[in-house]
């Protein structure tokens, strides 16, 4: 099973600041990594797929990078609606796995 480790667990930032979230895979997953945003009481929303492609309707302040085992989600300038939990997910191999999530909270 491919284990995805996200760091940090919690990121405390202010609106307007830059957020950098990490997802590390236990083995190479090429670029088969997606990022999801989840707000309290809501279902996850696909933000980024295949490491760096924004999903439909996702603002340009969200960007993804990486390949192999190390991936990054960057939010260039945090908006109030961006404070949420972000999870990564790999589709390189079965079983599909998710990371434990990073909570981006208001400082």
Partner 1 sequence: QVQLQESGPRLVKPSETLSLTCGVSGYSIGRGSYWGWMRQPPGKGLEWIGTISHSGTTYFNPSPTGRVIMSVDTSKNQLSLRLTSVTAADTAVYYCARHSNITPGRVGPFDIWGQGTVVTVSS
What separation in angstroms does the CA of 103 have from each of 1, 76, 85, 92? 24, 16, 4, 25
Q: Candidates 29, 36, 75, 84: give the one binding partner 1 (CB under 8 A).
A: 36
Residues 3 to 22: which contact partner 1 by CB under 8 A?
A: none
What separation in angstroms does the CA of 87 have from each of 48, 60, 100? 11, 18, 7
CB of 71 to partner 1, least distance (A): 13
What separation in angstroms does the CA of 39 have from each of 15, 44, 83? 16, 8, 8
Q: Candidates 19, 82, 89, 104: give the one binding partner 1 (CB under 8 A).
A: 89
Structure-token pair, residue 8: 């940090």
Binding letters toward partner 1, positions 48-87, x by CB under 8 A: -xx----x-------------------------------x
In sequence order, the 6+-apart residues with CB closer than 8 A to the CB of 57 are none
CB of 75 to partner 1, least distance (A): 19
Instruction: Give 16 or 95: the residue with its C-beta nearer to partner 1.
Output: 95
Q: How many residues touch partner 1 (CB under 8 A)?
A: 23
Contact of 35 with 88, CB cutoff 8 Å: yes
Does 37 bind partner 1 (CB under 8 A)? Our answer is no
């Amino acid at each position: 099973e491919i284990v995805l480790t996200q760091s940090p667990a919690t990121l405390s930032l202010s609106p307007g600041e830059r957020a950098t979230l990490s997802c590390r895979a236990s083995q190479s997953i090429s670029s088969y990594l997606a990022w999801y945003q989840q707000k309290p009481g809501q279902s996850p929303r696909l933000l980024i797929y295949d490491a760096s492609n924004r999903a439909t309707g996702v603002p340009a302040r969200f960007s993804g990078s990486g390949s192999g085992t190390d991936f990054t989600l960057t939010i260039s300038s945090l908006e109030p609606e961006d404070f949420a939990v972000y999870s990564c997910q790999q589709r390189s191999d079965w079983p599909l796995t998710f990371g434990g999530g990073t909570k981006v909270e208001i400082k």
